[in-house]
Structure formats: C-alpha cells, structure tokens
Amino acid sequence: RGKRAFIAGIADDNGYGWAIAKSLAAAGAEILVGTWVPALNIFETSLRRGKFDESRVLPDGSLMEIAKVYPLDAVFDSPEDVPEDVKANKRYAGSSKWTVKEVAESVKQDFGTIDILVHSLANGPEVSKPLSETSRKGYLAAISASSYSFISLLRHFLPIINPGGATISLTYIASERIIPGYGGGMSSAKAALESDTKVLAFEAGRKHKVRVNTISAGPLGSRAAKAIGFIDMMINYSLENAPLQKELYAEEVGNVAAFLASPLASAITGATVYVDNGLNAMGVGV
C-alpha cells in the first residue's frame, strides 16, 4: 500500500509545504492538505482553474493529485476555543470543522489513517518588531501559531498515524543564532519547536513508533517570508556566505522531507536536519 500524507500549511505553490507535497507525491504518497481558513477560497479556486498545473508536474510527467483539501486553523484546538468574532468572520463562517481536533476527525472518517504528518506553517503578528519591543500578546501568538500548533497536530493526529510513520516540521536557524529582523518571538517559537522535536520524538516513538524530526531550512522567498520583509537580504547573504554558493530550491527541502518520511530514515528521530546549503556551519561571513 502507498503511504498517505497530511501536509498542514499549503496555500499556494511557492512555499516549502507545496514542495514537500510534490516530493512525497513523486515518491508515491497520497496527498491530503490542510489550508489556513482565510486562504482556502483562493487556493481551491486557483487549483480548480489550473493556475498551479505547471507546478503540479512531477518528474514522471504526471500531475500531483491532492486527494482532499481541509480547511484548518491550527491556533484553535476544538470548537470551544473559537471566539465569537472569529466564528462570525465571513471567511471563517463559510467553512466548518477547521479546528485541529475536527480536522483529525474528518481525516479519520475519510481515510482512516495516515503515515506522514507535515507541519509547514508559522505566524507571528509582530515578526517585524524586535524581540525587546514585542508585546506579550504578540509573543504568545507567535508561539501558539508556530510551536504549539505542532503539539496540537501531534496530539490529535498521533492516534491515526500508523506505526512506522513520520512527522516533520520546518524550523529556522534564528532559533539558535542571532538573525536581526526575525522578531516578534518568532526566534523563540522556533527554539521551542526544535526543543519540542526532541521531547515529542521520545513520546511518539515510545508510544506509537512514530518519528519526529524538523528541517532547519535556508531562506526561501515564500509568501510568509516576503511578509517578514528581509528575505531578499537573507537569500543574498546565503549566496555570498554559504559553503554552497547556489540558489536554495524548495524542492531540495521537499526531497529531504521525503527521505525523512521514508524507511531510509528509519533510525532518525528527534533531529534538526539542516537544508541550507551549509550556511549554518559558517562562523563568519566571507
């Protein structure tokens, strides 16, 4: 039987989530997607109208199929957590069952089990503020959307992940080195995500024989990254200073995710794997 993957955090064909979906699809996996509720409409419309057809092409010439797109807001665990103003919001009222618990239930109902869970989402409303000027609310929102969201996904999906399965998230080196501009508590959120990767690897490994890893990816001009505002600078910095002076392709991150999700990586868990042209290994810029 082929593997089934649920990838949370795809809303266009530019980001790491899309590239991971493609690599998994190329390796024969069935693809389910969780898309942020406010982005759902435009993503589904674009898919339907063929806007992504060119980027759906797999190495064998076929087009990646998405078996189902689920609306998802990973900052809400169950319907009781959703405040009235969000419930009433037009973009949310048009969809249903998008809290993490409900999405896991829907996937279970539709498909039974999955083998691979990918968390490719982050959000920090005050990302452009220095950490020392970040509000409590902004800091907690970054942690909620970017770190706890992974715990929540694991918590609700682990019971339907088959033994031998794998989970992957995306992190950034700002967790361990100073990257001015990655503010609002986003650096803290990534540090939490990496630490949690270890503890969750222990818990998921012992209880479910499921692996937990995170990919520390180099800079990519995704929609989320462009919103931060310094992505071109980070891409140029990497081109100038990394051991490999080449563009970093989303596909390269996708391929490592496919490897980590596969039996080839059956002894790797609790790891932060760098896919960044080696930039993390540099001590000074040259």
**Residue 225 and residue 21 in contact, taking contact as beta carbons nearer than 8 Å:** no
Under the binding rule (CB under 6 A), the answer on residue 98 touching ligand NAI is no
Residue from 92, 139, 172, 274 carrying the catalytic annotation: 172
The pattern of x and - marking residues 226 through 265 that bind ligand NAI according to CB under 6 A reads: ----------------------------------------
> What amino acid occupies position 133?
E
In the chain, alpha helices (H): 16-26, 37-48, 84-88, 90-93, 100-111, 136-143, 149-157, 186-208, 223-228, 231-241, 250-261
Cβ 227 to ligand NAI, closest distance in Å?
Answer: 8
Q: Which of 4, 52, 66, 73 binds ligand NAI (CB under 6 A)?
A: 73
Give 62 or 86: the residue with its C-beta nearer to ligand NAI.
Answer: 86
Cβ 190 to ligand NAI, closest distance in Å?
Answer: 7
Q: Does 172 qualify as catalytic in the annotation? A: yes
Four-point Cα dihedral 145, 150, 151, 154, nearest 10: 140
Give residue 257's Cα distance to chain centre.
11
Residue from 16, 70, 139, 182 carrying the catalytic annotation: 182
Distances (CA, A) of 41 to 3, 123, 149, 269: 27, 19, 22, 36
- The number of residues in the chain equals 286
Under the binding rule (CB under 6 A), the answer on residue 219 touching ligand NAI is yes
Give 35 or 269: the residue with its C-beta nearer to ligand NAI.
Answer: 35
| 174 token code pair | 């700002």
Under the binding rule (CB under 6 A), the answer on residue 157 touching ligand NAI is no
Closest to 143 (Cα-Cα) out of 77, 75, 83:
75
Sole window of 53-61, 81-89, 121-129, 200-208 interacting with ligand NAI (rule: CB under 6 A): 121-129
Q: Which helix (H) or strand (E) holds 72?
A: strand 66-72
Closest to 65 (Cα-Cα) out of 24, 12, 118:
24
| 158 token code pair | 């682990």
Restricting to residues 34-63, name those near ligand NAI by CB under 6 A: 36, 39
Q: Which of 6, 139, 157, 172 binds ligand NAI (CB under 6 A)?
A: 172
Give 32 or 220: the residue with its C-beta nearer to ligand NAI.
Answer: 220
Cβ 202 to ligand NAI, closest distance in Å?
Answer: 22
Which residues in this chain contact ligand NAI in the complex, by CB under 6 A?
9-11, 14-17, 36, 39, 72-75, 120-123, 145, 170-172, 217, 219-220, 222-225
Catalytic residues: 172, 182
